[in-house]
Amino acid sequence: MRAALDGMTWLDPSDQAMRALALRQAEEIEKAVDRAAELDELRRELAGDMAALKRLQKLEAMCEITKTVGWLGPQLQGVLRDLGGTPAARKAMQGDKPIGGRLAQLRANAAAREDDA
């Protein structure tokens, strides 16, 4: 994630909070993967200890990787989109297509008419 963000040369200092958010979300996803691996290892080690297995099941409910990725994945994608880190966002940033589209053009035309009046 850090390399991808470092490659986004268009980011301004004002984008640092979004950049930090993207890094944090990616870190949480990676931690969820690591916790799942540790959970599998503990499950094997504690196979005969029912009390420990019950505690482990409670921990397992808090460390559900599918839920973490399912929740943070789309949020991370949204942050990256806002930073111009998706193909569609980069396409929208192209110089020949001003951001704002038709509505921005109508507003600009109206403002120009007011200036002429």
Is the pLDDT at 86 greater than 60? The verdict is yes
State whether residue 15 is helix, strand or coil. helix
What local confidence, expressed as pLDDT, does residue 61 receive?
Answer: 76
**Of the candidates 82, 62, 67, 73, the residue with the CA atom closest to the CA atom of residue 8:** 82
Is the pLDDT at 9 greater than 70? The verdict is yes
Q: How far is it, in rounded angstroms, from Cα 57 to Cα 63?
A: 10
Residue 3: pLDDT band with limits 50, 70, 90: very high
Residues in the chain: 117
